[in-house]
Amino acid sequence: MKRTALAITLGLSVLTMVGCSNKVSYGDATEVETVDVGFGSTDLQTVAQQMTDDLLTFPAVVAITAKERPVVYVERIKNKTSEHIDTESITDSISTKLLRSGKFRFVDMARVDSVRQQLEFQNSGGMVDPATAVSFGKQIGAQYMLYGNLSSIVKDNGKQKDVYYKFTMRLMDLQTGILEWADETEIRKVEERSKFGL
């Protein structure tokens, strides 16, 4: 009796495992993603591309970058939506595209503590040859700050869910406080809910 019960349990476990196996495959990272109305990879790519293109072609920015590569500090995008969105990914995509354009240089404020630790190690640890140690006070300050917000409006009546996203960015001259560039892009996503069985 115990052996029969054990065999049945084992058989059911095997059937459950076979019936619940998932298939994993690679997809195209640039393919339009419409799993749901939440902020997704397509939205991130769209926002980053539109903002970068507009910034690089805006007349005032073209004039600023004509003779030099200004140093920019990118502040993390503020998430004003009700979703958990990794806004650092948006910031990373935009700053990477701008850096690759050859028009800007960036300071990475997220690594300030790590840089400070390394400089302290080089200058006070006694383990690094003073002739090769990087000195304190030699870093270049940012001339401009790039920052922005991501906000959303969600409407849901049970049959349809409508999500509107607005992404805004600005480039500020840190010395004067003047905004040299600003732009916004909008995304609207609609989910139609079908009734069960129809």
pLDDT digits (tens, 9 = 90+) for 112-150: 788 888 888 888 878 888 888 888 877 888 999 999 999
Quote the pLDDT of residue 14.
Answer: 57
Closest CA to 155 of 195, 194, 196, 188: 188
What's residue 197's pLDDT? Answer: 46
Q: What is the pTM of this model?
A: 0.75
Q: In this predicted structure, which of 44-48, 118-122, 164-168, 194-198 has the lowest mean pLDDT?
A: 194-198
Is the pLDDT assigned to residue 153 strictly greater than 70? yes
pLDDT for res 33? 62
Of 26, 67, 39, the residue nearest 185 (C-alpha): 39
Does the pLDDT value for residue 171 go beyond 90? yes
pLDDT at position 7 is: 62
Q: What residue ranges define each of the domains in the chain, with the CATH number in brackets? A: 37-191 (3.40.50.10610)
* Predicted local distance difference test score (pLDDT) of residue 198: 47
Query: Could you tell me if 190 and 37 are in contact, meaning their C-beta atoms sit under 8 angstroms apart?
Result: yes
pLDDT for 35 equals: 63
Q: pLDDT over 70 for what percent of the chain?
A: 81
Q: Is the pLDDT of residue 157 over 60?
A: yes
